[in-house]
Amino acid sequence: MRTRHRWAASAASILIALLLVAAACSDDSSSTTAAPSTSAPATTAGPTTAPSSTAPPETTTITTLPPGGPPIAEEGDRNETVEALQYLLDCNGYGDLEADGVFGPATAAVVEAAQTALGRQVTGAPDDETFAELARACSVPRRLDADDEPLTVVGNAAPDDPETFVIELLSRTTVTVSITQGADLAVQIAGADGVVVEPASDGVWEIPDGGDHGIRVTSALDPTTFTLDIAISEGFEASGDWIIETNGISYKGEKLSIGDDADAVIDKVFDFLGHGIRGAYNEFDTDWSVIDEPQEVGIRGVFIEGLAFLFFGPSPSDPDRAETLERIRFEGPSDDADGEPRPDDYVTTVEGIAVGDTLADLKAAYGSSVSSGSNEDEHWYRYSDAGGELCFYFGADTPSDSSPILEIATECRS
């Protein structure tokens, strides 16, 4: 019995101790039994730290390229650099700006959009590196308006990415291109067919045929921002192999004048062309006399590669008349001795007019210096100076501005 009593007393003691512990725990239940809260902080405790649906994850690192130099243009500017910048921004799809050269708030906003997309510091004012990057990404040639000449054009070219401008030019115009900013650059002009127009001199191109032409600028070294001044003028000085004038004709700079010795002229013509193959011509024979046409005694002619040389010599009425060059006619280019066609500007006047040009071209080149005339068979326009005259023939019908020149001669037929 004593043993059971001791066990009961011991159990009672243990129960009392447990009750005391439970009571102590119930007095501090707010700090020891509550689990940590998982709810968001109250709005009065500051902004939430949870990421929004559009913000990048906290682990993402964004690298922004700092400006590579001072701005090349900024809001308030009005110049050709802004015009080029606006074109390149549109070309790359960052906006729909009018390339008017005025840097306003709309342009600044599009620049900022481009800087953001390119990973550059957003300033609204691009540097040269941004301008070059926009130029590399644009593959559409920029069109220029020849009516706005003289033109100042800004662009950026690289060794593997030339900058190309497209411009519509009239036939027989002179284009002068000056590089006013940029080094180690080359300029080339080509027609719509891709055929390169060789420069007449440094920075000067004479455009024979009208239509679209490409002005291509290439940098030999690094990407380079450049500025071009472009001037366009109607007409150009003669560029044909033969230059017909009021008092004779020149072949690559060597002059054959009206009044020169006949045999010497013929020898030189054959020497110039490398052959003596003559063509048929019905105005005169190739000898000094024509038995069945006594009125042509003393006339000799040579027709070669579209050119007709008429010579006067002794005749029954003037037996002592010298054998000299009297008149030159040209009715258009023909084939050379190898059967290859000569170019359209094979023979031109000093002012660049050739057979096939129109009356409008003639008036543009000579202005009021040419006057109209006609006989019962044909109409012409005559140009005269101290050396003699040139006659531009248009055929039997009264010519309009679009009528082509059919023949150029050193004398009008009465």
Averaged confidence pLDDT in the chain: 81
| Three-class HEC string of the chain | CHHHHHHHHHHHHHHHHHHHHHHHHHHCHHHHCCCCCCCCCCHHHCCCCCCCCCCCCCCCCCCCECCCCCCCCCCCCECHHHHHHHHHHHHCCCCCCCCCCECCHHHHHHHHHHHHHCCECCCCCCCHHHHHHHHHHCCCCEEECHHHCCEEEEEEEECCECEEEEEEECCCEEEEEEEEECCCEEEEEEECCCCEECCCECCEEEECCCEEEEEEEEECCCCEEEEEEEEEEECCCCCCCEEEECCEEEECCEEEECCCEHHHHHHHHHHHHCCCCCCCCCCCCCCCCCCCCHHHCCEEEEEECCEEEEEECCECCECCCCCEEEEEEECCCCECCCCCECCCCCEEECCCCCCCCEHHHHHHHHHHHEEEEECCCCEEEEEEECCEEEEEEEECCCCCCCCECCEEECCCCC
Look at the domain 142-234 and name its fold. Jelly Rolls (2.60.120)
Residue 360 clears pLDDT 90, i.e. is over it: yes
Q: Which residue has the higher pLDDT, 258 or 235?
A: 258
Whether the predicted pLDDT of 284 surpasses 70: no
340 pLDDT more than 80 = yes
- What's this model's pTM, rounded to 2 decimal places? 0.50
Q: Which residue has the higher pLDDT, 238 or 41?
A: 238
Provide mean pLDDT across the span 315-327.
Answer: 87
| Domain 80-137 superfamily per CATH | PGBD-like superfamily/PGBD (1.10.101.10)
% of the chain with per-residue pLDDT over 90: 56
Fold match between domain 80-137 and domain 142-234: no
Phi and psi angles of residue 62, each rounded to the nearest 5 degrees, phi first: -105, 125
The whole-number pLDDT of residue 61 equals 39
Confidence label for 253 from pLDDT (cuts 50, 70 and 90): confident
Q: pLDDT-based confidence at 232, cuts 50/70/90?
A: very high
Share of the chain above pLDDT 70, in %: 78
What's residue 295's pLDDT?
A: 52
60-113 residue pLDDT tens:
434 566 666 899 999 999 999 999 999 999 999 999 999 999 999 999 999 999
Q: Is pLDDT above 50 for 157?
A: yes
Residue whose C-alpha is closest to residue 351's, from 337, 341, 365, 339: 365
Measured in Å, how far apart are the chain's first and last C-alpha atoms?
169
CB 68 within 8 A of CB 119: no
Which sequence spans correspond to the domains of the chain? 80-137, 142-234, 237-414
Residue 278's pLDDT is what? 74
**Which of 3-7, 124-128, 186-190, 250-254 is the least confident region?**
3-7
